[in-house]
Amino acid sequence: MLTCKDVIMDMLADYLELTFRPEVVADLERHLQACPPCMAYLKTYQKTRDLVRRSGQVAMPEEMRTILRRFVMQQLGRARP
């Protein structure tokens, strides 16, 4: 029996990529039909993937790259012992 954690955290991306065996897909779909929160999450996840896919790649302005690079380097410096 699948739990919500199994569905949301471990299986959703693979399910959408159609990489599971038919029996796994059947188990997952049974869970989704019986679990409105997981079904809602699936629909939101699908919509987000579709929007990202359609948006394409946007070039980041050089000023923003510099700011982001500086921020990441500062964060990495803080993470070191």
Alpha helix locations (H) across 1-81? 4-5, 12-16, 22-34, 36-55, 62-79
> In the chain, where are the structural domains located?
4-79
Is the pTM higher than 0.85? The answer reads no
Tell me which amino acid residue 77 is. G
Residue 15 structure tokens:
């399910």
Residues 9-51 have pLDDT tens digits of: 778 888 888 888 999 889 889 989 999 999 999 999 889 988 8
Phi, psi values for residue 41, rounded to 5°: -65, -40
